[in-house]
Amino acid sequence: MANDTAQDLEYYLSVPYVLAMESVEHPDGEWFRRAEYPELPNCSAEAYSAVEAIEKLEEARVECIRGMLERGERVPVPRPPLRSMGEPLNQDRLGFARWMVEQGRISDQQ
């Protein structure tokens, strides 16, 4: 059963879910970036920078899908999985975005 869950997890992690990003102001006046996968229930993350919000969101996506599988819930599949998933998204794969920020080509601030 555990092996089936691992195979299912790999399958669902290869589904290209839509990622939505927005800037939100909290009641205290602080601005954050909110990233979410609207096709997955309660799968969102907030951070000061967009890059950090996406990193947190990827962790939340894995936990969301894993939890749904463990509870026997149906995981949404709005479009077919990608044929070659490659490695799961991690900090190394976000290195290019960090480099762009460091080079001043994009900003991770307001």
The domain segmentation of the chain, as residue ranges, is 2-102
Question: What span, in angstroms and rounded, lies between the C-alpha atoms of 104 and 78?
Answer: 36
Which residue in the block uniquely carries the two structure tokens 């077919």? 80
- At 47 the three-state DSSP class reads strand
Digit-coded pLDDT (tens) for 36-76: 999 999 999 999 999 999 999 999 999 999 999 999 999 99
Checking if the pLDDT of 12 tops 80, the result is yes
Q: Give Cα 55 to chain centroid, integer Å.
A: 7
How confident is the prediction for the chain on average, in pLDDT? 85
The CATH code belonging to domain 2-102 is: 3.30.160.250
Higher pLDDT, 90 or 12: 12
Higher pLDDT, 104 or 7: 104
Model's pTM, two decimal places? Answer: 0.68
Question: What span, in angstroms and rounded, lies between the C-alpha atoms of 32 and 13?
Answer: 26
